[in-house]
Amino acid sequence: MSLVVDGVGVTYSTVSGEPLVALDDIHLEIREGEFVTIIGPSGCGKSTLLQCLGGLLTPTAGRVTIDGMPIKEPDPRLTAYVFQDYTLLPWKTAAENTSIGLRFAGESKTTRREKAAEMLSLVGLSDFAKAYPRELSGGMQQRVAVARAMSMEPKILLLDEPFGALDEQTRRHLGFEMARMLSDTESTVVMVTHSLDEAILWGDRIITLSARPGQIAREIKVDMPRPRSLDFMGTPEFNQIRAELFTLLESFGNNRDEELDS
């Protein structure tokens, strides 16, 4: 499997009629089993790029392909999203939320039930299959959202600030759990994050976008096997990468939104 971003650009029309260039000439290739993190200053087009990868947005220029096939619309068998907002149906149980995509895909009740049980076990929520979202913590709800996305067995998992709504302790704990799970399942993942620590701890490669219009300003490879432990944060390699990213983001000016205080 290979996801290729070939010269992608996105230009929006504004109310004033002036064009707004969000992304410009993005070239990127993501290989099977790779975990790629995307960071950059506020408004640089990180989420816009992710929407192009998932077929939610058609680029103004260039194209996105998976195994040579152009991505023109959402297809949960190819790409599945996990957003910052959990977007769970409040009247559905964890198991029902997990299998909702399979239901729309026409899978049988038996298949849906078995797959939901498998995915909830994977994210450590087997005991909460019959619980409703209101009965789950924020971290547990986000685990259900991950289970729902993975139930479709997509080629690529797209994460858009998946833990941004959680407190720092829960975010870090859940992040390590998810990173370990995604490494174990050899999932192909692209994640947008504001956190330098998350980008380095999780990613095989870190893609830094410039200030708008977003272009790839730097690509850094993290030469450390995944999953990584907290101890990695105390190594010279981690601190060298973090310092490099911090300096680069500072060069874009004060319009930045990544975490710089941890």
Q: Residue 146's Cα: distance from chain center in Å?
A: 10
For 258, residues 6+ apart whose C-beta sits below 8 A from its C-beta are 39, 40, 41, 193, 194, 195, 196, 249
> What pLDDT is attached to residue 128?
96
Mean pLDDT to the nearest integer, 134-152:
89
pLDDT band at 255 (very low <50, low <70, confident <90, very high): very low
Residue pair 122/186 in contact by the 8 Å Cβ criterion: no
pLDDT band at 72 (very low <50, low <70, confident <90, very high): confident
| Cα torsion 51, 37, 156, 123: sign | negative
pLDDT band at 55 (very low <50, low <70, confident <90, very high): very high
**Domain extents in the chain:** 1-74+190-262
Give domain 1-74+190-262's CATH architecture.
3-Layer(aba) Sandwich (3.40)
> What pLDDT is attached to residue 207?
97
> What pLDDT is attached to residue 260?
36
pLDDT band at 258 (very low <50, low <70, confident <90, very high): very low
245 pLDDT more than 60 = yes
Cβ atoms < 10 Å from Cβ of 67? 11
pLDDT band at 130 (very low <50, low <70, confident <90, very high): very high
Helix H, strand E, coil C: the string for 9-42 is: EEEEECCCCCEEEEEEEEEEEEECCCEEEEECCC
Residue where the block lists tokens 């005991």: 127
CA distance 150 to 29: 22
Mean confidence (pLDDT) of the chain: 88
Mean pLDDT to the nearest integer, 15-22:
88
97 pLDDT more than 70 = yes
Q: Which of 37-41, 54-58, 154-158, 185-189 has the lowest mean pLDDT?
A: 185-189
| Cα torsion 123, 46, 215, 220: sign | negative
21 pLDDT more than 80 = yes
Q: Which of 60-69, 119-128, 143-152, 248-257 has the lowest mean pLDDT?
A: 248-257
CA distance 21 to 262: 32
